Amino acid sequence: MTKKSDPLEPGSLLYDPATSKVGEYQDKSGPYALLRPVGGGREWQADPAALRPATPQERLSAGLRAANARTWAVGAAVPPDPDDLSRPPLPVPGCAVCAELAERREAARAVFDRSAETDANVLLRQHQRKEHRS
């Protein structure tokens, strides 16, 4: 626990046992400490007497959570790249041809026919390049 004589430094990472979260100390608000999630977000009030410095593992976990949130936020706004061969292509919502090819791929996966699965992926990528390229 943080001792009363220890000043809370802005930017220090503290563990709040009431919420089981790590937060970055911002300031005081009356009798409470204001903490913000690592990576940004909505602040919350915490009892300063209950706070303790975050352990290295808690710091790492909070940092990874923030990095993953940023990645998903960016990734959700970017349409899939048909030239990205590292992952199977995703069907474009609302496109009947994409849906049919994705269903064909899933049927091939269900019977462990990797050749037919690859064929469906190739056809889906070709279709997306031709019909959905901006």
Q: What is the pLDDT of residues 70-119, one digit of tens each?
A: 776 655 555 556 667 778 888 888 899 999 999 999 999 999 999 999 99
User: Chain centroid to CA 4: how far?
Assistant: 36
Residue 3: is its pLDDT beyond 60? no
Residue extents of the structural domains in the chain: 1-54, 80-134
Q: What is the pLDDT of residues 20-51, one digit of tens each?
A: 999 999 999 899 999 999 988 889 999 999 99
Whether domain 1-54 has CATH 1.10.3470: no
Record the pTM: 0.51
C-alpha dist (Å) from residue 92 to 81, 88, 113, 131: 11, 13, 24, 10
